[in-house]
Chains A and B, each alone.
Chain A
Amino acid sequence: MSFALLMFFVLAGLAVLGALALILQRHPIHSALSLILVMLSLAGLYLLMGAEFVAAVQIIVYGGAVMVLFVFVIMLLNAGEEERTNFSKLASVAGIPLALALAGVIAAAIARGSGHLPSATNGELTSTRELSKLLFSEFVYPFELTSFLILVAILGAIVLAQREQN
């Protein structure tokens, strides 16, 4: 069990745990905190694969801005706990094993289909310089379009959140 494999299982376990907590928690703020845990463990996985810039951007943008937005909205709208539903017994007795079986089949299919690919953790770091060269030469058109998209999103959010001017 090499160190990379051990780290993969730890981080993957955390990510799946966070996603399960997102489903099983009743209060939206706890779901938000679980999603932050998922994002942080994914950032760890990106670091394990050597994509260090993407890992840092994931934490700064997703974990530090998008999820803060979610947390603010939950606090402002005073979201409360969800009420308990009548979850049908048939679903939990038959559904969960069937879902696990489906997951197993999909996992086997993926493993068979991508077995020939080289390993993703090959110890090479993607340098930021390389990424920026690509970003500003081949992908400069999507880059400029994205800045326009962000401007439109900012304007949209401001207009939507304004109160009615009477």
Chain B
Amino acid sequence: MVPTSYYLILSAVLFGLGVLAFVFKRNIITVFMAIELMLNAVNLAFVAFSQALGKSDGEIFVLFVIVVAAAEAAVGLGIIILTARNRRSLNVERVDLLKL
């Protein structure tokens, strides 16, 4: 039997790696993929708790998170396409018009 804490530790590790990718990568699309990784880590924690406590509410919430992440990916990638067309680059450091 696998203790629940193993799943939670894995979820924390994946979330941390997602934060690392978000901070260190310079391609907009890779940064967006790091957001999806963080959402997946959270989903894992939800399902682990749902199975440990015996209620299915956690899994329903995971379904909603997946749907919202899909909608967010669609709109976010649309914005990324427009930004890439306007700034002619996919580098996050170039999208800095608001910088002082």
Contact = CB atoms under 8 A, between A and B. Distances in A.
A and B touch in the complex (CB under 8 A): yes
Interface of A: 2, 4-5, 8, 12, 15-16, 19-20, 22-23, 28, 31-32, 35, 38-39, 42, 45-46, 48-51, 53-54, 57-58, 61-62, 65-66, 69-70, 73-74, 76-77, 79, 82, 85, 103, 106-107, 110-111, 113-115, 117-122, 124, 126, 130-131, 134-135, 139, 142, 146, 149-150, 152-154, 156-157, 160-161
Q: Tell me whether chain B's interface is mostly helix, strand or loop, or mixed.
A: helix
B35 to A, nearest CB: 11
A55 B70 CA distance: 16
Given A119-B1, A153-B74, A74 B59 contact: no
Given A23-B20, A45-B7, A157-B78, A15 B14 contact: yes
Contacts of B4: 114, 117-120
B36 to A, nearest CB: 7
A149 B40 contact: no
Given A115-B5, A157-B78, A54 B67 contact: no
Contact of A107 (B1, B12, B90): B12
Interface of B: 1-10, 12-14, 16-18, 20-21, 24-27, 29-30, 32-34, 36-37, 40, 43-44, 47-54, 56-57, 59-60, 62-64, 66-75, 77-82, 84, 90
B66 A120 contact: no
Given A45-B7, A51-B50, A73 B27 contact: no
Q: Tell me whether chain A's interface is mostly helix, strand or loop, or mixed.
A: helix
Contacts of B29: 28, 32, 70, 73-74, 77, 79
